[in-house]
Structure 1
Amino acid sequence: MKNKVKITALTLALIVSMASIVGCSNNSSTSAEASVSSNSSIESSIESSIGESSVSESSAEISSETTSATESSVSSNSSAVDPVVEERSYSDEEKYKPQPTKFSDYSYYPAVNGYEYSGNTSKVTIPSEFTKCPGFYYDNNVKEIIVPETVTKIPKRTFSGCKKLEKLVILNPDCEIEGGILPKDSLINIYCYFRSDKTIPKQRLLGLQGCGKAFNTLGSHYNGKNFDKYMHDLAEESYE
Structure 2
Amino acid sequence: MHVVLGYVGRRFDREVEALVKGWCWGHSYRAISGSTSLSNHSSGTAIDLNAPRHPLGKAGTFTATQRSHIRSILDACDGVVRWGGDYSGRKDEMHFEINVRPGDARLAALAARLGGSGGSDGSGGGGTPAPATVTWTTVRRGASGFRVTAVQHLLRQRGQSLTVDGAFGPTTQSRVQSFQRSRGLTADGVVGPKTWSALVVSVRRGSTGQAVVATQKLLTLHGYRLTADGVLGAATASKVQAFQQSRTLSADGIVGVRTWAKLTA
TM-score grouping bracket, smaller chain normalisation: under 0.3
Which one has the bigger strand percentage? 1
TM-score by length of structure 2 reads 0.20
Q: Which has the higher contact order (CA 8 A, sep 6+)?
A: 2
Which is higher, the Rg of structure 1 or of structure 2? 1
